[in-house]
Structure 1
Amino acid sequence: MDKLLLSIVVSGLCAVSSPAERRYHFVYDLKNMTEAQRHCRETYSDLATIRDMEDVNTLNTMVHSSQMVDDSSQAWIGLYDDVDSWRWSLSNTSFYKPGETEFRRWWPDIPNNFYGEEYCTYMYTDGYWNDYPCNERFKPVCFDVRGLNETFVLIKNTMTWTEAQSYCREHHTDLASVRNMEEIQKVQKLVTSGQYVWIGLFRDGWKWSDGSDSSFRNWKTRPTGVSKTCAAADFSANGQWEGLNCDVMRAFICYSVPVSMQVIKVRVQNNSSSLDLNDAVVMENLLKKLKQRLKDQGLNDDIKLSWKKQSDGKVFHKEEKKTKKKETCPNKDEL
């Protein structure tokens, strides 16, 4: 069996350190939200994700108000309102029939997020949908799912959308997901004329630029209006946030995470003379196995692995066998 020498970068160029090591960077040049995001991603990691009040207090101590331009005390952070992020309460979409796609039946010019607070959906007796504030009280339509079959159930009590979701999940499968016109008609048969009923469609709303799932919010006033879909921290209000038009020019806050890199050389055995370890597919499979082994040994799952190529562009090289020098006895003339 041939022995081969290979090098791997255990934490790669994208290794993620612990959240405590995150660093914030104020940039006082004026940019809109899109330009600010691009700058942060090119220069640091991304626009700032603010995870708790400790982060808020840190930023309050870092800001230099004298460097804010045009007397503005606001700076973009990474929070934005994803106006197209509608999804069903039942997150498992495997119940969709073959060939079916996400179904929507909005009224004309809907959804419009009127006053910036319409995150839930009701259905009217004509079968059309409208976005509406989730704290309003309507009767919900739940459904029970058995494979590709479902049964819709109208609940007699009025509830907020969140209460309706909890009730349907406790007593049925979930709030109703409506996949096609046939199911629209099934729900219509349950609803009396002029009635509004909750269905399971809702908008995820505010999201972080880096994909973080942090639910921390620090609003000064909750954003209203369809144009205020990007968030800025206002340092005249102790770093509280407000929604702005994304095209407004503001300073911004980026973050970065210290990255460490380690190079380790290991030896592997190749039991097949026909297997090319420099093949891209083979190398990718080896990386997956190596990462799983490191994970099984308790290493952080965020560690990134990548191959380190040698000067000839190859990763794997056959290790030369070292031959032991044969010792000989001196001849009599050397004595």
Structure 2
Amino acid sequence: MDTQVLLMHLLSGLSLSGAGNLNRFVAVDTPMTMADARQYCRSNHLDLASLGDARDLQQLRDMRSGSARWIGLSDDPATSMQTLDVYTNSWKWSFEYASEYLNFESGEPDFKTDEEVCVRMNSDGSWRDQECSSLSHFLCFSGSPSKPDYHLVREAKTWEDARDHCRFWFVDLAVIGSQEDKDHAKSKFYFLFAQLSSNAWIGLYREPWAWQDGRLSEFRHWAPGQPNNMGGNAMCVKLVPDGFICTDCSDVYPFFCSRALKQTILKIKISSDLDLTDPNVQDNILQQFGATLTNAGKTDFHLSWSVPPNNQPESAAAAVEEVCDPSSSALTSSALEISVKTTFNQSRQN
């Protein structure tokens, strides 16, 4: 059977039209605080909406383009002012060193302009947060974090440039994981600090603005002038036509949830006169499958080829996976079968 005819015959039994642009979001019109909206989404759907790219943003705009609505992006300064660990929104060392030691001066960190997420050390050994783009001298370390040897570099660099310099010439920006380390750095460089009348970068930084469902996505679409942390309490994000705006989490807005997803697997048995063990034939068939699925409206899918367990030379199986849920696992196809996974929206309450 001709390959293209075979593919069209197989796909003719599947309802593919419109299935490739499934909306994984739902709009809730009842105004709530961010905390209440999050609880509602987690109870009835999946979570507050997290956005992975511009296509997700466009879906939300198409659903409710004119109203301000909560999405699942927020910051957690209250926690991050008190803890240093590996979790999102908390302080971390550039060297990925685990420590519970913090030594911020009184009133710090203050997150001024919402951009102060890198840390400088003062001449008395205390710390303050600062914009990472600021220029400053910096403190590197050699040896190990448990037995550091500190090196003050008297060149004005941004935090990232200072980190790169330390990693090239030493180990990394300074790790100060204990009171003993602080005293060591302070005693060794006190006079130099005093002469400089300045402070120096260390390796501490923070990653603000994380998705509440834990999704790892760097997609941000801040409105002009955002985030500005107006009033010091603007730690939750609403979506408006211009983009993301940070606002007080106690404000009330309607919101977007991410849908829980139900997956259905359809399997079709095939056979062909073609030599399906030939890599060129396999690639050709997969390319034609990709084109056919795209023309049928599928936009998120993965194509792969698997040899059946009995390893018969005259047969093989192609597996097609549509990926709408990032956490979904890969399919295992059976011999002589094409497996197509289609995803349909379904709320948890249904």
Same fold (TM over 0.5): yes
Amino acid at match of 2:215: S
Alignment of 1:58 onto 2:44: no
2: CA distance, partners of 1:260 / 1:231: 30
Q: Name which structure has the greater RCO, CA cutoff 8 Å, separation 6+.
A: 1
In structure 2, relative to structure 1, the CA distance for the partners of 1:114 and 1:176 (3 Å cut) is same
SS at match of 2:208: strand
Relative to the length of structure 1, the TM-score reads 0.65
- Deviations along 1:62-118, whole A, 9 cap, x unmatched? 1164xxxxxxx210000001211112111143xxxxxxx511111112111122221
Q: Which amino acid aligns with 2:96?
A: S
Check conservation: 2:145, 2:177, Cα contact below 8 A.
no
Compared CA separation, residues 181 and 150, structure 1 to 2 (3 A) = same
Q: Residue 48 of structure 2 corresponds to which residue in structure 1? A: 47
- Larger Rg, first or second structure (1 or 2): 1
1:165 aligns with 2:168: no
Work out whether residues 45 and 255 of structure 1, in 8 Å CA contact, stay in contact via their aligned partners in 2: yes
Aligned equivalent of 1:82, options 59, 69, 76: 76
**What displacement does 1:143 show?**
1.0
Structure 2 vs 1, CA of residues 64 and 164 (structure 1 numbering), >3 Å: closer, same or farther? closer
Q: Residues 97 and 145 of structure 2 are in contact (CA less than 8 Å); yes or no, is this contact kept in structure 1?
A: no
Determine if the alignment matches structure 1 residue 243 to structure 2 residue 237: no
In structure 1, distance between residues paired with 2:43 and 2:168: 46
Aligned equivalents of 1:81 and 1:187: distance in 2? 31
The answer (yes or no) to whether the contact 1:50–1:216 under 8 Å persists in 2 is yes
Partner SS for 2:101: coil
- Contact persistence 1:21–1:257 (CA under 8 A): no
The CA deviation string for residues 231-273 of structure 1, in whole angstroms up to 9 with x for no partner, is 11003x2xx11100000000100011422379xxxxxxxxxxx
What are the superposed Cα offsets for residues 24-83 of structure 1, whole Å, 9 maximum, x if unpaired?
111110001000111111111111111111111121111164xxxxxxx21000000121
Q: What is the one-letter code of the residue matched to 1:86?
A: W
Q: State the shift of 1:212 in Å.
A: 1.0
- Whole-angstrom CA distance in 2 between matches of 1:25 and 1:147: 47
Give the Cα–Cα distance (whole angstroms) in 2 for the partners of residues 40 and 185 of structure 1. 48
Q: How many residues align?
A: 235
Q: Distance in 1 between matches of 2:75 and 2:52?
A: 17
Q: Distance in 1 between matches of 2:120 and 2:21?
A: 43
| Aligned CA distance change for structure 1 residues 146 and 113 (closer, same or farther; 3 Å) | closer
SS of residue in 1 equivalent to 2:202: strand
Distance 1:181 1:64 in 2: 53
2:151 aligned partner: 153
Distance between the aligned counterparts of 1:107 and 1:205, measured in 2? 20
| Equivalent residues of 2:123, 2:198 under 8 A apart | yes
List gaps (5 residues or longer) in structure 2: 1-19, 81-89, 266-308, 310-318, 331-350
Q: Percent identity?
A: 28
In the alignment, the residues of structure 2 paired with residue 224 and residue 23 of structure 1 have an alpha-carbon distance, to the nearest angstrom, of 30
- For the Cα contact (< 8 Å) 1:22–1:258, is it kept in 2? no
Instruction: Tell me the TM-score normalised to structure 2 length.
Output: 0.62
- Quick one: structure 1 residues 64 and 111, their matched pair in 2 at CA, closer, same or farther if it must change by over 3 Å? closer
Match of 2:235 among 224, 229, 242: 229
Deviates more, 1:51-60 or 1:27-36: 51-60
Quote the residue 2:32 is aligned against: 31
CA–CA separation in structure 2 for the residues paired with 1:169 and 1:302: 37
Letter in 2 for 1:212: R
Distance 1:110 1:127, change over 3 A: same
Aligned to 1:185: 183
Query: What is the alpha-carbon distance in structure 2 between the residues aligned to residue 129 and residue 205 of structure 1?
Result: 18
Q: Which runs of 4+ in 1 moved over 3 A?
A: 19-22, 145-148, 297-304
Q: Partners in 2 of 1:302 and 1:165 — Cα distance?
A: 37
Aligned to 2:217: 214
Matched residue type, 2:122:
Y
State the one-letter code of the partner of 1:115.
Answer: T
